[in-house]
Amino acid sequence: MGTAPIGVLALQGDVAEHRKSLEDLGLEVRLVKTVAALDGLGGIVLPGGESTAISLLLRSAGLAEPLRLAVQRGLPTFGTCAGLVLLARTIRDGRDDQVQLDGIDLIVRRNGFGRQRNSFETTIAGRGPLAGEPLRAIFIRAPVIEHLGMDVEVLAELETEDGTTPVLVRSGHVLAGSFHPELTSDRRVHEVFAAMVASADLAGTL
Ligand code: GLN
């Protein structure tokens, strides 16, 4: 119990940064490049990068369908930025052939923050387990979450000119964010995921 490694999908993107974030919390990490590496994981992280490139690589590694099934079957999963795009039920401005893991009931628009705000760093407000000190958040060609399903909980929001927009959300065993907590030194978001992994692990042993 509690010994299953956490996978980091290691096809493209900021794999090393997620690995370090998880290792900072004392977790064992396994880089996932093959179907066999999915076996026995306690959870998996889908890093930021480029969701269309990751999609092509998922297909050529034969990982697209096994990963989709693992997510559907309840493997705790955390996607950041491109990872959020892969996990969304509906992708706007995506490529028709990009992989959709359908892990979380929301609509996301790729690169939705637009050209003027291609990349930016700001402060966001946490909710629930992240209430308290605001978090620094780095957005890079970030997707915008345009609609949330009923069972999706907002864990952090960004203030915009038109109100607030969710930037970190959770539904059941899936956590997804449009920014990059792996690029800052605050580990609170990875801690939330670690707690989700621990409680799924505990449920599995009952
Ligand atoms: N725009 C990228 C995509 O669609 C995501 C960017 C990122 O992960 N920083 O996949």
Instruction: Tell whether ligand 1 has an atom less than 6 A from the beta carbon of residue 82.
Output: yes
- Which domains does the chain show, CATH number per domain? 6-205 (3.40.50.880)
For 13, which DSSP code? S
Q: Which of 39, 37, 53 is nearest to 110 (CA)?
A: 53
pLDDT in tens, 175-197: 999 999 999 999 999 999 999 99
Question: How far is residue 86's CA from residue 95's CA, in Å, rounded to a whole number?
Answer: 11
- List the structure tokens of 55: 């999609």
Asked if 54 and 98 touch (Cβ cutoff 8 Å), the reply is no
In the reported structure, the alpha carbon of residue 121 is separated from the centroid of ligand 1 by a whole-number distance in angstroms of 15
Give 91-134 pLDDT, tens digit per residue.
999 999 999 999 999 999 999 997 657 899 999 999 999 999 99
| Substitution candidate for ligand 1 out of 15, 92, 141, 145 with most atoms within 8 A of CB | 141
